[in-house]
Structure 1
Amino acid sequence: MDEETFGQVLHRLRGDRTLEAVAKAAGIATSYVHKLENGRGIPSRKVLLALEAATNAQGALIEAAGKNEKRSAHNEEFLPSTTKTSAVRTLDTNDAFGEDATERRRLLQLAASAGVGLGLGGEPVRQLLDLALNAERSTEDWQLACADHLHALRTRPATQVVSDLAVDLYVLRQQIHHAPDGHLSDLCRTVATLACIQANATTRLGDHGAAIRWWHTARHAADASRDAALNVLIRAEEASCGLYGQRSPATVLYLVERAETIPAPSLKLLTAKAKALSLLGRHDDAIRAVRELSNRAEEGPERDDQGFWTSADIYFTQSWIYSAAGKEDFAEAGRSDLMQSTSYWSTSENGPYRTNTRLHEALGFVARGEVDRGLRCAAEALDSLPAALRHVFVRETGRMVLQAVPLGQRDRPAVRDVSSLLAIEA
């Protein structure tokens, strides 16, 4: 059987998703994806990286591109030439350290998918040297890596986050494979945390199927760590991301109720519960959950060794719930507290978080019958955010605003304006 071409691999990984969906997730033109699938183009590294993330290829596209390199003289857009990687190839073919050469090639492919150079000072060479010297990362090193990736999730495009995680996830897999049993708990904590970040970033790209699979990995690793606080945190993050078009609100509420059986308190879990109730139209129940959230927050700070939780989440939840219920005074109080929160500004450098807060305000206007004012507010908020940063969390919040518009008023020009900014149908 003939080997698959790059275009065939891309088509297979796209699966049932439309060309438009993959193109949007990768940030490229639909026609270009079509050309690549039909073998009529060679992607740049940047495009290759974006397609890796958009299709959750896990190195398969990089591998296909590498094979294409051997068949084509026009190969520099995929991977550097042999002359640039001779030192790497020397390491790759030397098995004196007991490392499998195929696995090392896989590392190079994953590193290339992260957009790093393959020169002597590049990341792949450093990783290979670490492996050759058995330079496994310490628990402290992995904690720092988790903190760095979490910061990236809050401040950089999701495609970059997914790509940057690729090498660390590979190295972590290798370390687990060789780790003694006594070290597995700490490594499972790291797996749970990094898988959680990967699932969150994949959610932002709109690849919900892949995200759900990463949530499964994160939960499994958290279970293996026997850390109850981490266990409930992972489930709270999963429920929170599920609210943005990934799952039905009823399913999210079910996930919350299951997580509530774990003997570890979680304010994050309560925020997800309040939001799910709101999306189900159970505004009185959602408000009761918000009040419980405020009361429990006053009892003491939330324990979160990973750094996912901030006090800003409380005020953000108040802004959402009270806006949807049409209770502007309470919603404005939540937004005011949010704007004064140091943790709010520390988690919103790239704008989407602030845009969602403004969309809450727009939702409140629509909920109180001021439809045109609410839609203008939503359009202004979305227009102020670069299109590349309007990820799923922003688009689904914008969709909430549109869905709040009464059916008989959805033919308004302002509805079309907001729809076009979200690239969704009214």
Structure 2
Amino acid sequence: MRLRAERKRRRWGRTRLAQEMLKIADPYTLPKLKSVVGSIRGHETGRHHPSADVYRPLYARIYGRTDAHLFGSEHTLSELTVGPTGTPDADASEQLAQAMAVAEVERLCPDNADKTVPIATNAGSSLKEPVIGGAQMKRRAATQILAALTAGVAIPLDALETLLSALGHELGMADDYTLDDWDRTVHEYACALPLTSPAALIGVLAMDIASFRGVIDRRPEFDLPRAHRVGARLAALMAMALTETGDFATASRWWRIARRAAESSRDEELATWVLGRHALVAQTIGMKSVALALADDAERLAGGRPYAGVAEACAARAKIFGFQDPLAARRALDDLDGLFGRLPESVTGERVAVWGYPEERLLSCRTGVLTALGDAGVADDLADEMARSERIAPRAHTRAELKLAWYLAKSGDREGVGLAVRAMAALPADQHTTAIRRMGARVHGSLTSEARLLPEAQDLRALVAKSSP
């Protein structure tokens, strides 16, 4: 009610307030005007709460009021949360509460190894028996953290950092890691993301992000720009994993962190990559205007230099135009071809980590755009892509199969829907990412009205719906 009262006091409509927000918000933070108006309506009616990192600061700045005045006890939001998406298990939530209590005892009483310590949990209950302090207590807490993360409990990043600080040894976290060690860790995650379940990756990635943040505070000798470079890549990887699980809102916050960290690193090549990759991801989930703006910013920052981020931006633009402007799409593909010949071998030779741009990715972009355009000559390229992707990763191969199925469906060939069903059914359910689901839906949407009555079409629809978050 306070938000509505503040707006009415200024005699503003919701559209005027939305316009004021768009004027002062960071780039890419807010959606289009109509969506912002809808969010304001939801905030004022209590249907949902304004996010702590986007809308609440905007309300406070525009109305000239403190956060406490505007929101008081109406809503308490934690900082960014990390953990797999899904419905958390109640027992796992209780385990996490116990682990956090143990960590707090360890922080306040580090020498309490031989004492018995009663603990009250965050869930409002108390442990039935006192918990023995020291190594045994910390090992149990460490196990509880790992169980909570894998069970789908979202953990505030600040809380996770506290846990890791108190229990780092039991969790295998080493304070003596160098930045070289962290660079290697980040590269391992970049190689794992295309190969493993994104939901499974989020939990372990979250622990390393929280650990790294704590290490930076305790290691003033670290080269800060280089540390920001590590942080930018970790944040971008988290954003990509969250997007693949369907958690777009949280992913957006991590993209913002990645952009700011990349800027602080003073590494323009990295900053260009973050913008370009974000553009590619944004177009994948249908945010076309955001994707085009990010692509423009990536190319502007690169200033004509052959960076991988520019290739990501060109690919994003080509894929968008593939659905709305055939001539522009082909020009974008030509631009990408020209750029590819100028990319350094360190980029084109990286075939696994997500920041590489090898020939396989060039081919994948081309087949996606040409399939969208209905180009009859794409069939041979799709066969080539399927042969190559089979040696790379299951998801890459499934995407290639689904593109062929899409091409067949657009051509009126009923074999397309059967191929799509077989491709999705063969891929483990935890690998049914956002990109896979959208491609499956695209095949179904291209079927003729008669083909949609086929049993295979019903199976495809069920597969897409079943794998949706």
Q: Report the TM-score, using the length of structure 1 for normalisation.
A: 0.69
Contact persistence 1:315–1:335 (CA under 8 A): no
* TM-fit CA distance, 1:331: 4.4
| Residues 1:267 and 2:311 are matched in the alignment | yes
Equivalent of 2:134 in 82, 86, 89: 86
Amino acid paired to 1:42: D
* TM-fit CA distance, 1:181: 7.9
Whole-angstrom CA distance in 2 between matches of 1:267 and 1:346: 23
Q: Name 1:295's counterpart in structure 2.
A: 338
Whole-angstrom CA distance in 2 between matches of 1:283 and 1:226: 37
* TM-fit CA distance, 1:141: 0.5
| Residues 1:400 and 2:447 are matched in the alignment | no
Out of 286-295 and 152-161, give the one that drifted further.
286-295
Whole-angstrom CA distance in 2 between matches of 1:425 and 1:90: 37
Q: Name 1:285's counterpart in structure 2.
A: 328
Equivalent of 1:249 in 277, 283, 288: 288
Equivalent of 2:232 in 181, 188, 192: 192
Amino acid paired to 2:460: V
Post-superposition CA distance 1:276-317 (Å, at most 9, x none): 222x43233222222322233234446549752231111111
Q: Name 1:223's counterpart in structure 2.
A: 263
| Residues 1:151 and 2:191 are matched in the alignment | yes
Whole-angstrom CA distance in 2 between matches of 1:297 and 1:357: 21
Q: Name 2:357's counterpart in structure 1.
A: 310
Contact persistence 2:395–2:431 (CA under 8 A): yes
| Partner SS, residue 194 of structure 2 | helix
* TM-fit CA distance, 1:139: 1.9
* CA 1:71–1:60: 2 relative to 1, 3 Å: closer
Q: Name 2:249's counterpart in structure 1.
A: 209
Runs of 5+ in structure 2 lacking a partner? 1-47, 51-83, 102-119, 152-166
* TM-fit CA distance, 1:407: 6.6
Q: Name 2:370's counterpart in structure 1.
A: 322
Whole-angstrom CA distance in 2 between matches of 1:402 and 1:380: 14
Post-superposition CA distance 1:123-163 (Å, at most 9, x none): 832568844xxx2x212101110011122212221122111
* TM-fit CA distance, 1:69: 9.3
Post-superposition CA distance 1:49-87 (Å, at most 9, x none): xxxxxxxxxx889759953496355x9xxxxx945x731
* CA 1:128–1:360: 2 relative to 1, 3 Å: closer
| Partner SS, residue 257 of structure 2 | helix
| Residues 1:142 and 2:189 are matched in the alignment | no
Whole-angstrom CA distance in 2 between matches of 1:229 and 1:90: 42
Q: Name 1:416's counterpart in structure 2.
A: 458
Whole-angstrom CA distance in 1 between matches of 2:179 and 2:402: 40
* CA 1:160–1:407: 2 relative to 1, 3 Å: same
| Residues 1:390 and 2:437 are matched in the alignment | no
Out of 319-328 and 226-235, give the one that drifted further.
319-328
Post-superposition CA distance 1:83-130 (Å, at most 9, x none): 5x73165899xxxxxxxxxxxx8x8875554569xxxxxx83256884
Whole-angstrom CA distance in 1 between matches of 2:328 and 2:410: 17
Q: Report the TM-score, using the length of structure 2 for normalisation.
A: 0.64
* CA 1:397–1:193: 2 relative to 1, 3 Å: same
Whole-angstrom CA distance in 1 between matches of 2:334 and 2:318: 10
Contact persistence 2:429–2:467 (CA under 8 A): no
| Residues 1:355 and 2:404 are matched in the alignment | no
| Residues 1:125 and 2:172 are matched in the alignment | no
* CA 1:115–1:409: 2 relative to 1, 3 Å: closer
Contact persistence 2:276–2:295 (CA under 8 A): yes
Amino acid paired to 1:257: D
Could you say what the CA RMSD is over the residues aligned between the two structures, in angstroms?
3.8
Please list, as runs of the form range in 1=range in 2, the aligned pairs for 1:59-70 lying within 5 A after superposition: 63=100, 67-68=122-123
Q: Name 2:387's counterpart in structure 1.
A: 339
Post-superposition CA distance 1:394-422 (Å, at most 9, x none): 10111222233357865554432211011
Q: Name 1:42's counterpart in structure 2.
A: 91
* CA 1:127–1:373: 2 relative to 1, 3 Å: closer
Amino acid paired to 1:208: F
| Structure label with greater radius of gyration | 2
Contact persistence 1:363–1:400 (CA under 8 A): yes
Contact persistence 2:236–2:255 (CA under 8 A): yes
Out of 398-407 and 153-162, give the one that drifted further.
398-407
